[in-house]
Amino acid sequence: MSVNEQMYAYGASKSSIREIAAYGNARKAEIGADKVFDFSLGNPSIPAPDAVRKSIERLATMPATKLHSYTPANGLPEVRRTLADSLCRRYAKECEPVYGTDPIARPDDLYLTAGAAASIVISLHALTNPGDEVIVITPYFPEYRVWIETAGCVCVEVPADPATFEVDHAALESAITPRTAAVIINTPNNPVGVVYSRLNLAGTAAVLEKRSHEFGHPIYLLSDEPYRELAYGAEVPWVPAVYPATVVCYSYSKSLSLPGERIGWVLVPPTNPEHDRIVPAIAGAGRALGFVCAPALFQRVIADCVDVPSDLAAYERNREALTDGLSELGYEFIQPQGAFYLWVKALEPDANAFFERCRALELLPVPSDSFGCTGWVRVGYCVSHETIVGSMGAWKRLAEQYR
Amino acid sequence: MSVNEQMYAYGASKSSIREIAAYGNARKAEIGADKVFDFSLGNPSIPAPDAVRKSIERLATMPATKLHSYTPANGLPEVRRTLADSLCRRYAKECEPVYGTDPIARPDDLYLTAGAAASIVISLHALTNPGDEVIVITPYFPEYRVWIETAGCVCVEVPADPATFEVDHAALESAITPRTAAVIINTPNNPVGVVYSRLNLAGTAAVLEKRSHEFGHPIYLLSDEPYRELAYGAEVPWVPAVYPATVVCYSYSKSLSLPGERIGWVLVPPTNPEHDRIVPAIAGAGRALGFVCAPALFQRVIADCVDVPSDLAAYERNREALTDGLSELGYEFIQPQGAFYLWVKALEPDANAFFERCRALELLPVPSDSFGCTGWVRVGYCVSHETIVGSMGAWKRLAEQYR
């Protein structure tokens, strides 16, 4: 009898992404910030829009007891109304074949949370039972495994299509068992930067429908969408329009550059066949996990900023400089359609060995082993433009080493 | 296979406190707000100090990428430094017999959280293993049971001393088994309003030390202290000075009237014999439960306001009016030393039946059954002074009904 060994292990073993970032900071202090090219973290480099500051300043003058008091557990009704209306404005037309003219999101379908991590953890606790299996598509955000295991479930890795890094439907179908409760997808994707096409989503839906029917219970699609607004021209389909048994997890960390403020939501779409049981289960999981309510001030901020567009210009400029530069040097990579990551093929099979060569040249991407597959590195381009431009000499020398 | 039944149950069954509050709101809409005397909720009625507004306005002008970015998982180092220094200033002298001149809280002993609920849930997941027992002192805040069960543990109720409502040491000792991982105490106490004396805490420590020794592992004391600053003259001892194997859970919800903003901390005191294993386990539990980091803006606000005193005048005035009034009418109650609750003896053995008589007179306290015992009601005086004064006629008629 002692402290919980599993929690101790989660706390004692840092994520390798964080370790690389810590090394980068130490190295910058040692040799100068402009000489280290740290592409490890997913911390937005563009500031929150000015509308956020204005909203905070306006809200600060509200009566304090009203502003800072407990909100209902699922969030302020007027905020949920504003968010639901915005989703209807943006996606109702796309959903018409499925929903007809019914609203695609109503205030009570939304549960405001302390960010996407909270959304996913709450959803996993609500949708699964201990011993269930939850499928992730490799490569995947490594915290998924921690959260799945904490809900008492088994994390089942299904490799993405090796050519497109979208879902491999045959691999998905064969991985589903009678214990499969849910599949997590993340589009636009971290770490690869692809956006799943409508066609690929439809194929996933067909597999899930078939297997749900076969096993006599819905297999839920957990759609993790913090990068929804960060797409460079590609269409990001509204997932519930393709598969009804979806639960959408959203966050304002990337779209409004508010990662530290912890604000997001879970949406249980009206068409989800278990809607009326999932909504209370989400509320129950939020209560059981100690969330109480999403931060009150920022509930109001996101309502104020609901139609403020994400400022993608800086990321687009970085993306172009990075892909143009690496392309010219002969690197292979997956053409990034969204998020702010470039997925670059390592120049040798062992991504960790490749990373060591990167590091020797002060380049700090993240080896793909952290995301559950071999042979690639993730290059986060949510950095200053100078970092991209300044790194090109090192990328060149690296390529030369492998000639 | 379906949604999680336990989470569904937690979400579908509202807490009776919330149900009474909802009834109160509906009733106010029906007959007028000044005719309903709702004493059900623990939502602070005094506004956050003006220093909070000034801090928010100052922070809003900071560079947004810095202000709103992810913080380290345990919180901003400079904030933890400020908080640790403040604790040292306030409690080091009291701790000298135990700590000598060593600091009683260092920055790395603190883990900032999204409020006391998060602090307790994270601590329970860190300190216990499934199947363990966690003791609560009856009457107790009902969410403790939900959080204990969610960590996979058994909630063991130990009645408080029926005369003083402090810990009954004989009852505590006989309830401890080899499976007891922790005891939760809450002082100043919700729902009773007592503050545990140094003597009573020392008795609890003696029992825990004896049993820890007997069973060969430390039994942790989880000290839930959101009401620490709300004491009316009574000393609130620093618990780790009395019992080393303590973990302190704190929140700014009541002291700075910020319940909606979700900001607090966990402290693992340097003297805790398992300190070096608990600190990573707390970090691991925060990670596993999806907390990521405490809300960034309010981390800075609490550092700015670290020495701003809580404004107790309004609560003291309410407390006096309520105790004077009820005393004159012949009600029995526990003299409140802290928090903002009065624990009043029901005028018949069945507190629920008594509550129905209250309700008929538009008085809305909370029957003690919600807190795990019979025969009392909790009267929250974090309401307007007019509500206290206006309710006296109804309390009078109620007493007359029982003559």
Q: Do A129 and B1 touch (CB under 8 A)?
A: yes
Query: Cα angle at A111 between A137 and A118, to 5 degrees?
Result: 50
- Please say if the pLDDT value at position B337 is more than 70: yes
Instruction: In whole angstroms, give the CA distance from residue B400 to residue B65.
Output: 63
**Which residue in A305, A56, A70, A52 sits closest to B52, CA to CA?**
A56
- Report, in angstroms and rounded to the nearest whole number, the Rg of chain B calculated over CA atoms: 21
Side-chain half-sphere of A355: how many Cα atoms within 13 Å? 22
Chain B, nearest residue to A215 by Cα: B1
Out of A217, A284, A298, name the one closest to residue B9 (CB).
Answer: A284
Q: Quick one: B197 exposed, middle or buried, by C-beta within 10 A (0-12, 13-18, 19+)?
A: middle
Q: Do A4 and B283 touch (CB under 8 A)?
A: no
For B356, other C-beta atoms within 10 Å of its C-beta total 11
- Give B-chain residues touching A149 at CB under 8 angstroms: 288
Q: pLDDT tens, B284-322? A: 999 999 999 999 999 999 999 999 988 899 999 999 999
If you write DSSP's letter for every residue of B293-336 in order, what string do you get? SS-HHHHHHHHHTTTPPP--HHHHHHHHHHHHHHHHTT--EEPP
Q: Which of A4-18, A343-357, B104-118 has the lowest mean pLDDT?
A: A4-18
Instruction: In whole angstroms, give the CA distance from residue B12 to residue B1.
Output: 19
- Report, in angstroms and rounded to the nearest whole number, the Rg of chain A calculated over CA atoms: 21
Q: How near does any CA of chain A get to the CA of B164, in Å?
A: 30
Q: Are B280 and B131 in contact (CB under 8 A)?
A: no
Q: pLDDT tens, A122-167? A: 999 999 999 999 999 999 999 999 999 999 999 999 999 999 999 9
Out of A48, A70, A122, name the one closest to residue B64 (CB).
Answer: A48
- Give A-chain residues touching B133 at CB under 8 angstroms: none
Q: Could you say which of 3.40.190.10, 3.30.310.50, 3.40.640.10, 3.30.750.24 is the CATH number of the domain covering A64-304?
A: 3.40.640.10
H or E segment at A380? Answer: strand A376-380
- Please say if the pLDDT value at position A1 is more than 80: no
| b (16+ CB within 10 A) / e for A284-317 | bbbbbbbbbbbbbbbbbbbbbbeebebbbebbee
Out of A65, A115, A288, name the one closest to residue B47 (CB).
Answer: A65
Topology at the third CATH level for domain B5-48+311-401: Aspartate Aminotransferase, domain 1 (3.90.1150)
Out of B2, B11, B117, name the one closest to residue A217 (CB).
Answer: B2
**Phi/psi at B52 (5° precision):** -65, -45
Q: Give the Å distances, CA to CA, from B83 to A375, B90, B227, B263.
A: 45, 11, 17, 13
Q: How near does any CA of chain B get to the CA of A73, in Å?
A: 10
Q: pLDDT tens, A62-100? A: 999 999 999 999 999 999 999 999 999 999 999 888 788
Which pLDDT band holds residue B43 (cuts at 50, 70, 90)? Answer: confident
Instruction: In whole angstroms, give the CA distance from residue A24 to residue A27.
Output: 5
Instruction: In whole angstroms, give the CA distance from residue B240 to residue B95.
Output: 8
Out of B8, B181, B257, name the one closest to residue A277 (CB).
Answer: B8
Percentage of chain B beyond pLDDT 90 is 93
Which pLDDT band holds residue A16 (cuts at 50, 70, 90)? Answer: confident
Q: Look-up: residue for tokens 């600190």?
A: B279
**Number of CB pairs, chain A paired with chain B, less than 8 A apart:** 273
Q: How near does any CA of chain A get to the CA of B190, in Å?
A: 17
Q: Do B283 and A120 touch (CB under 8 A)?
A: no
Instruction: In whole angstroms, give the CA distance from residue A330 to residue B213.
Output: 67
- Give A-chain residues touching B11 at CB under 8 angstroms: 279-287
Instruction: In whole angstroms, give the CA distance from residue B397 to residue B361.
Output: 8
Question: Given this model, what pLDDT does residue A95 score?
Answer: 87
**Which residue in B336, B211, B217, B354 sits closest to B273, CA to CA?**
B217
- Please say if the pLDDT value at position B380 is more than 80: yes
If you write DSSP's letter for every residue of B165-225 in order, what string do you get? -S--HHHHHHH--TTEEEEEEESSPTTT-----HHHHHHHHHHHHHHHHHHTSPPEEEEE-
**Which residue in A119, A86, A369, A161 sits closest to A253, CA to CA?**
A119
Q: Are A153 and A181 in contact (CB under 8 A)?
A: yes
- Give B-chain residues touching A283 at CB under 8 angstroms: 10-11
Chain B, nearest residue to A285 by Cα: B7
Q: Do B277 and A2 touch (CB under 8 A)?
A: yes
Q: How near does any CA of chain B get to the CA of A289, in Å?
A: 6
Q: How near does any CA of chain B get to the CA of A15, in Å?
A: 11
Q: Are A195 and A188 in contact (CB under 8 A)?
A: yes
- Please say if the pLDDT value at position B99 is more than 90: no
- Please say if the pLDDT value at position B1 is more than 80: no
**Which residue in B193, B37, B363 sits closest to B354, CA to CA?**
B363
Q: Are A8 and B277 in contact (CB under 8 A)?
A: yes
Q: Are B172 and B207 in contact (CB under 8 A)?
A: yes
Instruction: In whole angstroms, give the CA distance from residue A149 to residue A130.
Output: 9
Out of A11, A260, A290, name the one closest to residue B283 (CB).
Answer: A11
H or E segment at A111? Answer: strand A110-113
Q: pLDDT tens, A273-299? A: 999 999 999 999 999 999 999 999 999
Order of strands, edge to edge, in the sheet holding A341-345?
A: A333-334, A341-345, A376-380, A366-367
Out of B261, B277, B288, name the one closest to residue A297 (CB).
Answer: B261
Instruction: In whole angstroms, give the CA distance from residue B83 to residue B225.
Output: 15
- The mean pLDDT value for B329-336 works out to 96
Q: Do B290 and A44 touch (CB under 8 A)?
A: no
Q: Do B288 and A43 touch (CB under 8 A)?
A: no
- Give A-chain residues touching B252 at CB under 8 angstroms: none
Size of chain A, expressed as the number of residues it contains: 403
β-partners of residue B251 are: B264
Instruction: In whole angstroms, give the CA distance from residue B123 to residue B309.
Output: 27
**Phi/psi at A248 (5° precision):** -100, 130
Interface probe with A: pick from B148, B274, B289, most Cβ of A within 10 Å: B289
B296-304 vs B50-60: helix crossing angle, rounded to 10: 130
Q: What is the pTM of this model?
A: 0.97
Q: Are A268 and A222 in contact (CB under 8 A)?
A: no
Q: Do A11 and B290 touch (CB under 8 A)?
A: no
Q: For B233, left (φ over 0), alpha (ψ -120 to 50), or beta?
A: left
Cα A252 → chain centroid: 11
The alpha-helical segments, DSSP class H, found in A46-150 are 50-59, 64-68, 77-99, 116-127, 143-150
Instruction: In whole angstroms, give the CA distance from residue B47 to residue B53.
Output: 10
Topology at the third CATH level for domain B60-304: Aspartate Aminotransferase; domain 2 (3.40.640)
- The mean pLDDT value for B152-175 works out to 97
The alpha-helical segments, DSSP class H, found in B108-188 are 116-127, 143-150, 169-175
Interface probe with B: pick from A122, A262, A277, A311, most Cβ of B within 10 Å: A262
Q: Do B297 and A120 touch (CB under 8 A)?
A: no
**Which residue in B371, B137, B181, B399 sits closest to B274, CA to CA?**
B181
| CB-based contacts of B97, cutoff 8 Å, min separation 6 | B241
Which pLDDT band holds residue A42 (cuts at 50, 70, 90)? Answer: confident
Question: Given this model, what pLDDT does residue A32 score?
Answer: 95
Q: Do B117 and A257 touch (CB under 8 A)?
A: no
- Give A-chain residues touching B118 at CB under 8 angstroms: 290-292
Per DSSP (E only), the strands in A177-332 are 180-186, 220-224, 246-251, 264-267
Q: Do B117 and A291 touch (CB under 8 A)?
A: yes
Side-chain half-sphere of A390: how many Cα atoms within 13 Å? 17
Instruction: In whole angstroms, give the CA distance from residue B4 to residue B7.
Output: 5
**Which residue in A101, A126, A63, A377 sits closest to A268, CA to CA?**
A126
Instruction: In whole angstroms, give the CA distance from residue B260 to residue A181.
Output: 33
Question: Given this model, what pLDDT does residue A132 score?
Answer: 98
Chain A, nearest residue to B262 by Cα: A295
- Give B-chain residues touching A285 at CB under 8 angstroms: 4, 7, 10-11
Q: Do domains A5-48+311-401 and A64-304 have the same CATH topology?
A: no
Peptide bond into A365 cis (omega under 30): no
H or E segment at B342? Answer: strand B341-345
Question: Given this model, what pLDDT does residue B42 score?
Answer: 86
Domain ranges of chain A: 5-48+311-401, 64-304
ipTM of the complex: 0.96
